[in-house]
Structure 1
Amino acid sequence: MRIHHYRKMLSLALILGCCTFHGAQAQESNSKFPLIPYPSSLTIGQGSFNITAKTLIVTEGHRFDNEAAQLNLLLKQYLGSPLKIAGGAAAEQSIVLKYDATITAPEAYRLSVTSKSVVLSAKEPAGAFRGIETLRQLLPADEHVQSPLKTVTLPAVAIADQPAYAWRGMHLDVSRHFFSIDYLKKFIDLLALYKFNKLHLHLTDDQGWRIEIKKYPKLTEEGAWRTFNNQDSAVMKKSADNPDFVIDPKHIIQKDGKTLYGGFYTQQQMKGVVAYALARHIDIIPEIDMPGHMMAAINSYPFLTANGENKWGKLFTTPICPCKETTFEFAQNVFTEIMEIFPGKYIHIGGDEVDRSSWEQAQSCKELMAKNNIKTTAELQSYFINRMEKFFNSKGRKLIGWDEILEDGISSTAVVMYWRSWVPNAPVKAAKNGNQVVMSPGNPLYFDNEPDRNSLYEVYHFNPIPPKLTAAEAKGIIGAQANTWTERIPSENRADYMIFPRMTALAEVLWSNKDRYEDYLKRLKLQFPRLDALQVSYRLQDVSGLVERNVFTDETVLNPVKPLPDLSFRYTTDGSLPELSSTALNGPLKISKNMSVRLAAFTPKGRRSDIYDLQYTQQDMAAPVNTFVSSPGLSCNYYPGEFKNAKSITGEPKAVFTVDSVIVPKKADAPSFCLKYQGYLDIPADGIYSFYLNCDDGGILKIAGREVVDNDGPHGPFEKSGQVALRKGLQPLNLDFIEGGGGYTLKLKYSVNGSQPMEIPSSWLKH
């Protein structure tokens, strides 16, 4: 959230050379090949191809010179020196980059690896490069060997491949917290590895202006720096338990007796980043957010607002004024310099979360609205966006905006980026209007939302095509991207943790567009050594079977299963952080008294997983109530309005619904609201029952009068769990849930005596 902020498969004939292939395995995913995303078609060959210092890279003409150079850079890391690049016809014991006019898709390629040669065929340089990244994943995981290798081996394989979606993007907010040039290049390398082709850089916002604009030097002289704000304070507090929340000291300076945080990219630096990305066939999409989110600019240039003021309103800051020619002069001057830095087709203008109240009072706006027959300030915002789009188009560029630009009219030529999950009709409206649409809904594609055990599954099973579109309209959905807003991400390690491995799941959705989830998880494990070698601080896989609040009647056992075989468990019982020096958990730990355990998994190199805070409480079995009920379902009380947390719900409900499952009813349609579910669970047998409450924003679950899960908000979609000891029969259930605006996630699952989580049967629900 900003404020808390089918296609045809490739049907090309494979060049198989003299290699024998196992046809039965041609279309099935084979997890022995650690490829993410998985190719459209892969056929296993016999034998392998050995790359040595004598191997030639052969190109036909100069079409693929850049790609040959990129391949050589990769192989040099293994062999210690570059290979010779030669022009001419294919030869044995060589790697051939071959032009093939029969390959029609811009990023499609064919790859044939036999014992005699490697032939990579493509029509476009982008296709050749995507094939090189497949070769990269077939090579040994450690790309930076300490001593040069004499031989590097590629397995024999035939691949025909192309992407399902044209737009495969990732977004990074460098305004809230700043990231170095080196990190941007590292990120670009990782985007290339997983076949992404768009990097959306959020360069400006209220908290910082990050790109040099020579006509307005104060944008970076002043706007790139700030004293520590409430977001900084929040991460500083978290840094006590996690060093990834330490604010990077490289971006802290002392000036005029003040401690300032920030930084910016010079135009020359950013041109270097753009060239680095283009060599890897990745377009950088710059975002200069306006008319809202402009506090960093208005601080230095107050003439931009309607009344000269610059402050926070109820939710958002004062925007720039679309009713003064000086505003358009400023915007056009800024974007002219942006276009000189970023040569790509797309420019992002933001256009979201605008507090238009200052426009309502401004005389200049009243006059312009009367002159142009503009009735509302929403139409006034459309006037600004449409005028800027015409300017972009005059320069040969295409405007992108967040889906708010749809309000009160937008041309069909703008690209709409959909993010507001609570406005499900927005991408449908845009597609029907003829706009191209990039899907980036907050759930599950806001990677600043805290990951949990469900995150990978949710991303992997995201469908970019809204269900209400016809096949013709669906062609307007050109792809998707995940957004990483950095209010709570102050370091590069934390950014890695939030993005990886979720980014790999999205890569497979957008390139492969085929459900191979279980196989993907196997291939993901084979990717971890490569991410280790590339020094990516990814989030370790979840330890399955753990519950935060555990209960037992006599005793219980803590016996977690390692998600990876080389991990080790360490734990503490005194509240301290688990470290490598903490007590090892090498077998079952019996627990027969009330206690708290802090558990973590560690890699051999000492990197720590999430910390699992486990509470154990001895509890008697709750007796059922002697109440006669005959009505199925739960009672659901609906309270429109804003609530800070589930504990603050007061007043009389506006409506009462009956629901047959724990979901947000469609009738609960206010921007923010709370729901109180009441009734009984008809428990079928005595046991220790675990409940898993996933919500956005907050929720508290009580069963048999006992608090089982406290997942109170506000926060993004996140699951917490707890247990309760129940006897067979009717057990009272109370669930309080708040929706702060934008999420609408509410899921409740259960397990009993250690079983896998499952949906609560509707037959259990009574009221």
Structure 2
Amino acid sequence: MKPLSRLILTSAITLVMINAWAQASTQPSLIPYPASVTMGKGEFVITPGTGIVFDIKDGFENALAELSRLIPSGKSLPRPSTKVIELQKDAAITSTEGYQIAITGQKVLLKAGKPAGMFRAVQTLRQLLPIAIENKSTEIQSLRLPGLTITDEPAYGWRGVHLDVARHFFSIAYLKKLIDGMALYKLNKLHLHLTDDQGWRVEIKKYPALTEKGAWRTFDKNDSACMRKQKDDPDMAIDPKRIVKRNGKTLYGGFYTQQQLKDLVQYAAARYIDIIPEVDMPGHMMAAIHAFPDLSCEGGSHWGELFSTPICPCKESSFEFAQNVFTEIMDIFPSEYIHLGADEVDRKSWAQSPLCKELMAKEGLKNTAELQSYFVKRMEKFFQSKGRKLIGWDEILEGGISPTANVMYWRSWVPEAPVTAARNGNRVIMSPGNPLYFDNLPDAHSLSNIYHFKVVPEKLTAEEAKFIIGAQANLWSEQVPSENRADYLYFPRLLALAERVWSAHLDFSSFQQRLPAHYNRLEALRVHYRLPDLSGFAEHNVFVSQAILDIKKPLPNLVLRYTTNGSIPVATSPALSKPLVIKQPVTIKLAAFTAKGLRGEIYTLNYKKETYQEPVTVANTKAGLQCKYFKKYFLNTGGMKTLQPDSQFIAPNITVPAFVSAPSFGLQYSGYIDFPETGIYSFYLLCDDGGRLMIGNKEVVNNDGQHAPLEKSGQVALKKGLHPFQLHFIEGGGGFTLQLKYSKGSGEPVRIPDSFFRQQ
């Protein structure tokens, strides 16, 4: 490109006319929604004569390249059209990512103070353009943009996405695709979890054995779980490109060369996305210790009760190894932040080590938590000597923390951690397991939970809240064996997070209205996103004479397909084009499909014929339910069966009172439920961790076990009157969720009125 003070490029766009806007007054379907949008009159039409104008001194080359990619350039014309798209620097816009857009019939003006802001402006313009621009096989003659004015900047500086490439490996091509999706929705930090017990994924030239040995493993229990699940979901199949045969063994693995990662860093930087590398230590280091056994205190590594043997912080050789590794990591990644991890450390081997006892006495360390802090602080000083800032998971608060360390909060069951860190002056990134661990299965509540997530803890003052710098979604890949599965878990949840951390003014109803416009764009970008949930049925359904399966499609272009022989629905399965009458017991597998063949969630619907349960006669009932409280850890609700409760109380409904504060506990609600009329009732039990619902002589919903927030449903046929009621619930630690709703017939699920619950 010639070094002219004013440079004009001209777009040449051919073939089909697409109009993205029916009316200029329509709310634009932008995600995240800008701080201010004012709709204007008319529209700007991009034609082969439209020029793109910018000043080469402004540093907007990346934004220009992106705009030129969206609007393919042809030959230059001798002079520009009077209608132009102009990229203009405005020093008055001080936010690094802030921008303004003004569209009239004569001009599109993009203004920003910094290159990142101009790039964000182009992404907003991209969302205003028709989806056809994403499909390079479709040529477009003219494009229309609505008249409007936008002023925008982010609410938070850290808008992150995490991917664990250690448990399962993901290609550079997929990482670029993820970066492209992040750029579209203005997310700006990609946190790569590069090492763990199950795999070492980054080339370290000083220690080639880390990838020669540590990048490969035999199949583990999570691989086996994925293989079992692939029978019902092809996305759970392990990528065959990651499987090799060596010395008679079948191994899974892979790693990135340093040059591959350097190229990826440049790719992300052109989109104003920082890649934050994580090499997790002192724990989660089994892959490295297998290659270098002397890294641990006892020699080698094995699994303890919960975690693996960590490296030894009492050997200078451990620090030499760590510093050598991070020196090469810093050469690859120029990011301001380096993630040390430092979570889930099994410190038992340290407590037994003579070397550690000697070091603790020398340094005045009272316990192994302070010894871990000693390791973290030494590593932070090394990072600082290289001009970098340390991030650690919130366990780095234990044993003491320096005021300059950055804390990534993840342990939902330690709600004071981000409060303590912020009050200590540490900057905090919010990424709690509920709702920001995206390996937790999505359901109908996921988008709302993410959108309404409180980034700033309520206990913080306005001044303290300044230390909360943003939030991040984490995807741990133990059971994410394919890139399609990763897409399914990321999208559309990332869109809800993107708006939550960018937009200052939040409106979930508006978000829900804007979201459908993005599904087709995601599909055009080959994103294997999760289709909207289907509703109008339960997992376990009953009927007395017959049932009717009648589903309202969440998107008009979906086709519902089903099977009754136990097979998975495919694109050629029968279409559910009209209500299906069911008169005999049957199991139906159901899924939605897009026109391009993308399949949504596979639902298994069991139908069983029943007679109405008879009510019971009970005299002198009172409001509420009896509840037994167990202060103990349970794997499932059955663990409470033979135990005596620690206490009992009367509950007005299915809620957990504030005085139930044990880290792990169980609750047994019992009494009666009074139904005002005879009918088929559906129940929806959302819980984290496990729960079971029994009405009369029937288990209606089984949502038992240790798991993240998950809703399950079931039906029961009941006559009017009182019916015995039991709900058992357990919380294993980490923050609980408990919600029970019901519906009758085809009605919407609602909260059960307190007046329904009775006890003696």
State TM-score, norm by structure 1: 0.92
TM superposition shift of 1:218 = 0.8
Q: Give me the whole-angstrom Cα distance separating, in 2, the residues matched to 1:40 and 1:571.
A: 43
Whether the aligned pair in 2 keeps the contact of 1:700 and 1:709 (CA below 8 Å) is: yes
Amino acid at match of 2:324: N
TM superposition shift of 1:80 = 6.0
Q: Give me the whole-angstrom Cα distance separating, in 2, the residues matched to 1:338 and 1:670.
A: 42
Q: Give me the whole-angstrom Cα distance separating, in 2, the residues matched to 1:263 and 1:346.
A: 25
TM superposition shift of 1:214 = 1.0
Amino acid at match of 1:700: R
| Aligned residue among 130, 142, 163 for 1:140 | 130
Q: Give me the whole-angstrom Cα distance separating, in 2, the residues matched to 1:387 and 1:237.
A: 44
Report the counterpart of residue 690 of structure 2 in structure 1. Answer: 698
Q: Give me the whole-angstrom Cα distance separating, in 2, the residues matched to 1:180 and 1:245.
A: 17
Is the deviation greater in 365-374 or in 254-263?
254-263
| Aligned residue among 570, 588, 611 for 1:597 | 588
Return closer, same or farther for 1:82/1:258 CA change in 2, 3 Å cut-off. farther
2:363 maps to 1:372: yes
Report the counterpart of residue 209 of structure 2 in structure 1. Answer: 218
RMSD of aligned residue pairs (Cα, Å):
2.0
Whether the aligned pair in 2 keeps the contact of 1:389 and 1:399 (CA below 8 Å) is: yes
Return closer, same or farther for 1:85/1:709 CA change in 2, 3 Å cut-off. farther
Report the counterpart of residue 643 of structure 1 in structure 2. Answer: 634
Q: Give me the whole-angstrom Cα distance separating, in 2, the residues matched to 1:291 and 1:149.
A: 55
Report the counterpart of residue 55 of structure 1 in structure 2. Answer: 50
Q: Give me the whole-angstrom Cα distance separating, in 2, the residues matched to 1:440 and 1:70.
A: 33
Return closer, same or farther for 1:580/1:149 CA change in 2, 3 Å cut-off. closer
Which structure 2 residues correspond to residues 341-380 of structure 1 after superposition, within 5 A?
A: 341-380=332-371
| Aligned residue among 107, 124, 135 for 2:97 | 107
Q: Give me the whole-angstrom Cα distance separating, in 2, the residues matched to 1:81 and 1:216.
A: 49
Return closer, same or farther for 1:681/1:343 CA change in 2, 3 Å cut-off. same
Whether the aligned pair in 1 keeps the contact of 2:200 and 2:255 (CA below 8 Å) is: yes
Which structure 2 residues correspond to residues 84-233 of structure 1 after superposition, within 5 A?
A: 92-142=82-132, 143-233=134-224
Q: Give me the whole-angstrom Cα distance separating, in 1, the residues matched to 2:461 and 2:189.
A: 26
Q: Give me the whole-angstrom Cα distance separating, in 2, the residues matched to 1:68 and 1:694.
A: 45
TM superposition shift of 1:239 = 1.0
SS in 2 for 1:320: coil
Report the counterpart of residue 418 of structure 1 in structure 2. Answer: 409
Amino acid at match of 1:153: R
Report the counterpart of residue 734 of structure 1 in structure 2. Answer: 726
Report the counterpart of residue 11 of structure 2 in structure 1. Answer: none
Whether the aligned pair in 2 keeps the contact of 1:416 and 1:436 (CA below 8 Å) is: yes
TM superposition shift of 1:662 = 2.0
| Aligned residue among 707, 710, 720 for 1:715 | 707
Amino acid at match of 2:114: E
Which structure 2 residues correspond to residues 568-717 of structure 1 after superposition, within 5 A?
A: 568-649=559-640, 650-717=642-709
Amino acid at match of 2:611: D
SS in 1 for 2:94: coil
Is the deviation greater in 372-381 or in 729-738?
729-738
Amino acid at match of 1:756: E
Deviations 1:213-239 (A, max 9, x none): 111111111101111111111111111
SS in 1 for 2:232: coil
Is the deviation greater in 113-122 or in 612-621?
612-621
Report the counterpart of residue 334 of structure 1 in structure 2. Answer: 325
Whether the aligned pair in 2 keeps the contact of 1:403 and 1:420 (CA below 8 Å) is: yes
| Aligned residue among 30, 40, 43 for 1:45 | 40
Amino acid at match of 1:57: I
Return closer, same or farther for 1:293/1:83 CA change in 2, 3 Å cut-off. farther
Whether the aligned pair in 2 keeps the contact of 1:302 and 1:310 (CA below 8 Å) is: yes
Report the counterpart of residue 511 of structure 1 in structure 2. Answer: 502
SS in 2 for 1:663: coil
TM superposition shift of 1:625 = 2.2
Report the counterpart of residue 79 of structure 1 in structure 2. Answer: 72
Whether the aligned pair in 2 keeps the contact of 1:664 and 1:744 (CA below 8 Å) is: no
Gaps spanning 5+ residues in structure 2: where?
A: 1-23
TM superposition shift of 1:472 = 1.2
Deviations 1:161-180 (A, max 9, x none): 11111111111110110000
Report the counterpart of residue 70 of structure 1 in structure 2. Answer: 65
Whether the aligned pair in 2 keeps the contact of 1:109 and 1:121 (CA below 8 Å) is: yes
Q: Give me the whole-angstrom Cα distance separating, in 2, the residues matched to 1:756 and 1:472.
A: 43
Q: Give me the whole-angstrom Cα distance separating, in 1, the residues matched to 2:530 and 2:48.
A: 37
SS in 1 for 2:302: coil
Q: Give me the whole-angstrom Cα distance separating, in 2, the residues matched to 1:693 and 1:608.
A: 26
SS in 1 for 2:577: coil
TM superposition shift of 1:91 = 8.2
Deviations 1:18-47 (A, max 9, x none): xxxxxxxxxxx9764221111111122222
Which structure 2 residues correspond to residues 229-628 of structure 1 after superposition, within 5 A?
A: 229-628=220-619
TM superposition shift of 1:407 = 1.2
TM superposition shift of 1:701 = 0.7
Q: Give me the whole-angstrom Cα distance separating, in 2, the residues matched to 1:609 and 1:153.
A: 32
SS in 2 for 1:359: helix
Q: Give me the whole-angstrom Cα distance separating, in 1, the residues matched to 2:500 and 2:615.
A: 46
TM superposition shift of 1:81 = 4.0
Q: Give me the whole-angstrom Cα distance separating, in 2, the residues matched to 1:38 and 1:85.
A: 38
Q: Give me the whole-angstrom Cα distance separating, in 2, the residues matched to 1:306 and 1:156.
A: 67
Return closer, same or farther for 1:82/1:558 CA change in 2, 3 Å cut-off. farther
Q: Give me the whole-angstrom Cα distance separating, in 2, the residues matched to 1:556 and 1:326.
A: 70
Amino acid at match of 1:99: K
Return closer, same or farther for 1:60/1:80 CA change in 2, 3 Å cut-off. closer
Whether the aligned pair in 1 keeps the contact of 2:50 and 2:81 (CA below 8 Å) is: no
2:755 maps to 1:763: yes
TM superposition shift of 1:477 = 1.1
Return closer, same or farther for 1:84/1:303 CA change in 2, 3 Å cut-off. farther
Count of paired positions: 734
Return closer, same or farther for 1:546/1:30 CA change in 2, 3 Å cut-off. farther
Amino acid at match of 2:299: G
TM superposition shift of 1:601 = 1.4
Q: Give me the whole-angstrom Cα distance separating, in 2, the residues matched to 1:232 and 1:621.
A: 45
Amino acid at match of 2:72: L
TM superposition shift of 1:643 = 2.9
Amino acid at match of 2:672: Y
SS in 2 for 1:62: helix
TM superposition shift of 1:152 = 2.8
Whether the aligned pair in 1 keeps the contact of 2:49 and 2:81 (CA below 8 Å) is: no
Amino acid at match of 1:98: Q
Deviations 1:666-721 (A, max 9, x none): 44444433322222223333332211111122211101121100112222111011
TM superposition shift of 1:553 = 2.4
TM superposition shift of 1:466 = 1.0
TM superposition shift of 1:251 = 1.3
Return closer, same or farther for 1:692/1:84 CA change in 2, 3 Å cut-off. farther
SS in 1 for 2:306: coil
Return closer, same or farther for 1:684/1:513 CA change in 2, 3 Å cut-off. farther
SS in 1 for 2:141: coil
Whether the aligned pair in 2 keeps the contact of 1:57 and 1:83 (CA below 8 Å) is: no
Amino acid at match of 2:125: L
Return closer, same or farther for 1:751/1:257 CA change in 2, 3 Å cut-off. same
TM superposition shift of 1:276 = 0.6
SS in 2 for 1:42: strand
